[in-house]
Structure 1
Amino acid sequence: MELNTLLSSIKNTNGKFAEDAQNRLDSLTKPQGSMGRLEEFAKQLVAITETRMPSLDRKVVFTFAGDHGVAEEGVSAFPKEVTPQMVMNFINGGAGINVLARHAGAEVVVVDIGVDYDFAGAGFKPTANFVSSKIVSGTRNMRKGPAMTRDEAVKCIQAGIELANEYAKKGYKIFGTGEMGIANTTPSSAITAVLTGKSVEDITGRGTGINDEALKNKVQVIKDSIAANKPDRNDPLDVLAKIGGAEIAGIAGLIIGAAANKIPVVIDGFISTAGALIAYLIEPKTKDYMFAAHMSQEVGHKS
């Protein structure tokens, strides 16, 4: 389905279902509103699924992976070679997300959307938990020019949408977002700074644990990238292409696809939130389908 057609199919959730859910919650043997945010979550789930007793028996976390040309500017404590190493760890079930997913009864699907590594050449073939949707082999260095072309950014979004459609047809009831990409807090900070209008200093954190000198460099790299590309804050696709990343675009697409399929999606972490912001600005009704998992230590996540 063409992107604009899909976007036009997304509807706000049904307020009548949320009202019915609130009435049921208020009829239970507890003080009204005593469950706090849990009641808000319950109402939102009922409104999304249009089912008074929704079942979330099939769950999947999509971990989108991509490399970033801006890593060559020394903005991360680790080299980009760590990205494919971590992807392999996810595939083999050895990462933190794998442990948490097992406890939640969720599957983990790793999506190579932009890693600068030949997984097929290394013997990694697509499996149930590894999807090859490679659009770019790493983005370009955004300090020197656009990270992606607009067409590449759109294709990354479409890859996320296609995954949402595929897993909706398979009967999955809730999606989670995750990501892997050395240096990806840098484009996430850049996106957040441009789209919120806040200063780069107020948005940029230490990522993988860089020291004070490296943080100062990271802030300058982001400022230089914004100055070099002049992204149009009124055009989220322009921002995404010029100072974004493949995995951020894939997450945005997954959220858009989830909303089109009336599937709730859990947004986890700062990078995923940057993708969620892009999805929201492309189609504001996607907000009805999002749940924020937590607030990370990244200062930009608090913005």
Structure 2
Amino acid sequence: MTARHASSPLEALLVDGRFDADVYPSEPMSRHTMYRIGGPARFYVQVASIGALTRLVEACERTDVPWVVVGRGSNLLVADEGFPGVVIALGRDFRTCRFDEDTQRFCVGAGVPLSSVVQEAFRRSLAGLEFAVGTPGTVGGALRMNAGSRDEWIGERVASVTTFTPGEGLVRRAGDEIAWDYRTSSFRPEDIILECELSVEPADPFFIRGKMEASLARRKKTQPLSDPSCGSVFRNPEGNSAGALVEGAGLKGVCKGGAQVSELHANFIVNTGDATARDVKDLIELVQAKVSETYGIELQPEVRFLGFSQ
């Protein structure tokens, strides 16, 4: 595509040499999801600055082109047909992490891997983030889904969040102005999380190391970390374990094409090597139907679906 042939404000922006972003047309999303599954996005754009992000989103809005912001694709299933819009990834300016000694807070860009913040806190003997050790996603994704365990989650550590929303601009909110719940938050789909402040406190490094090692050991023992997956597929229903329900319905090890309900943890669906998005989606629906039939419980997916027709 050349500037001379650009046919819309969006396409004109994407070929503008001053646009602070890397643009990849027809980019296979299998390169950007932990599942290693997904057809091409019309455009995959890694924006390096807030200026580039706002210009891109506004151009998409003006031209009615669908857009979505993704992190490391740890909780994402992209259709085999791909996504007919713009996939936005947060680059350079959204990947900074600094610690403020006065406030005892980390100021972290949404594009930073959560695991690197956990390691930096450990290096400084700061406690509060040990529960997130080994979490594969970005800080932005962790905030949106309030990542954590049943007992601890990231929302408890959030002092503030800055977002950008088309038509509204930049908004900074205190952590207690956001509703945090199990695996959910009150961010709207159109809110783009840019950065946050996370509160931590000094602690004995041996205490921090012990909690991190125990959490990692538990993950390694109970989760199929060596196989491509999206992590937990379903939210735990109130008072129940999704994995126990799936296992109780006799579905451990069940396959659809190259997708399999993990033999290690029944709330994981893994890509055994050649799974398609349709294989995974079909298996998710099979599990939902069987658990509903067996227990009368409707399992709700945690995984985000992109590019599937409704």
Structure with greater Cα Rg: 2
TM-score by length of 1: 0.24
TM-score by length of 2: 0.24
**Highest relative contact order (Cα 8 Å, sep 6+), 1 or 2?**
1
Give the structure with the larger strand fraction.
Answer: 2
Give the structure with the larger helix fraction.
Answer: 1
